[in-house]
Amino acid sequence: MSDPFDVLAIAADIRQGRRSAVSVMTETIAAMQVRDTSLNSVTRIFGPRAVGEAERIDRRLAAGDDPGPLAGVPFGVKDLFDVAGEVTTAGSVVLRESPPAAHDATVVARLRAAGAIPVASLNMDEFAYGFATDNAHYGITRNPHDTARLAGGSSGGSAAAVAAGLLPLTLGSDTNGSIRVPASLCGVWGLKPTLGSVPREGAYPFSASLDVVGPFAGTLDGLRVAYEVMAGGPMPELPAASDLRVAKLGGWFGTNLSDALAGAIDAVAAHLGGLETVELPEVARARAASFLITAAEGGTLHLPRLRRHALRYDPATRDRLIAGALLPSATLVQAHRFRGWFREQVHALFRSADVLIAPATVGEAPSVDQPTIVVDGQVVSARANLGLYTQPLSLAGVPILSAPLLGTGGLPLGMQLIAAPGREAALFALAGALARAGLVGRVPLPAAKGR
């Protein structure tokens, strides 16, 4: 049987007749029904329709047709992507009575055209506003490595489903870190592509000027193929990793790290021959600007519905959206002006480096019972602050790959690989080299929790 984490191995088994698409799909559904009860990563299973699509894949193969590179691969979608015939709730009961989607989101349609099959919608923070996947309507998604801990968010259901081996491929969105944070805490691969490079049509928006959609996967090769399908074409040929100039972000990105995380990043730097440490100016202001832009754009989007149905929102989400809607326009203008300046500072670093490395979170996943982290000696909310290292970088619109670190001896930890816009190929080249060296890769579950 193929590796449940390996997109390409599953597709190869189906294409070569070692397994049928129907058997893969029925096993996937059965596993979700049994094993997700302890995780709460899944909100809905598209059972009959998914099996029906698997049957069509098997018929096409029997007739000698090519269903595509992802033939029969089951995938899940963060519950803000349209799947034709299903209601898109964006993690909220506010949208539960909306009409079903008339069309698939563009990236869902592209994955289906490549042979993949959507089988489930996945839990998220309500309207993607949070880093914890603590949802007042659908419950908390728990970390497969330790169910007493958070999976991270807002795409926590997507990361947890891959980490648990329930799905080899899932979709998420990233505004301020909502792919990178849960990928790090759950020990899987995640990609935030270049802003604007992957179509967002059919994905419920949060912050129109910051939102990016991207994949999670159990293998780097699976992540690459999924990204290429979603982007509508192959990347340029990967450069030689040995030719890449790599630097480490310091300053803001070198404080508040756990000892294990600092040690793992140092090990990567040592393997690469020792890295120059570079710093970005005004990172705290960048994070503040990202907060303001997100709040204002999200609040403005939701204001008409808040006026009618405020009490149906999660109170924590509602209050932040209302506060964002009340921000003065001059404040938002200043935040966008600063964003332009900060983006230039980030892009300037790529004159002397091809890839930057930085931590993805401050350390291991916080506990569900005490969802806090320590920043500058202060205990603060994890839901609002897990994006400490991801949020500032969102302003620059650059591609960022979240690579799970190996050899830390405990719970998953993650590292951001950052490149200039359109340079995803450099990220995959460096990640591949680090994976071959045994420094990064999907973090295995404790033996008792594996499939």
DSSP-assigned beta bridge partners for residue 379:
374
DSSP-assigned beta bridge partners for residue 249:
278
Residue 123 CB burial class (10 angstroms; 0-12, 13-18, ≥19): buried
By DSSP bridging, strand 146-150 and strand 42-45 are: unpaired
**Residue 95 three-state SS:** helix
- The full 3-state SS of 376-403, as one line of letters, equals CCEEEEHHHHCCCCCHHHHCCCCCEEEE
What DSSP string runs through 214-247? EEEESSHHHHHHHHHHHHTSPPPPPPPGGG--EE
Which residues have C-beta within 8 Å of that of residue 23, sequence separation ≥ 6?
none
- Give the span between the Cα atoms of 186 and 157, in whole angstroms: 10
Give the up-direction half-sphere exposure of residue 385: CA atoms within 13 A in the CB hemisphere. Answer: 16
Longest dimension (CA), the chain: 64
Identified catalytic residue from 41, 78, 158, 197: 78
**Residue 370 three-state SS:** coil
By DSSP bridging, strand 146-150 and strand 134-135 are: unpaired
Residue 407 to residues 95, 271, 303, Cα–Cα distance (Å) = 43, 13, 47
Give catalytic status of residue 192 as yes or no.
Answer: no
Identified catalytic residue from 20, 41, 154, 184: 154
Give catalytic status of residue 154 as yes or no.
Answer: yes
Identified catalytic residue from 20, 121, 178, 402: 178
Q: Do residues 295 and 302 touch, judged by C-beta distance below 8 A?
A: no
Q: Which two tokens stand for residue 116?
A: 């993949």
- Give the span between the Cα atoms of 15 and 74, in whole angstroms: 14
Give the up-direction half-sphere exposure of residue 438: CA atoms within 13 A in the CB hemisphere. Answer: 2
Q: Which residues are catalytic?
A: 78, 154, 178
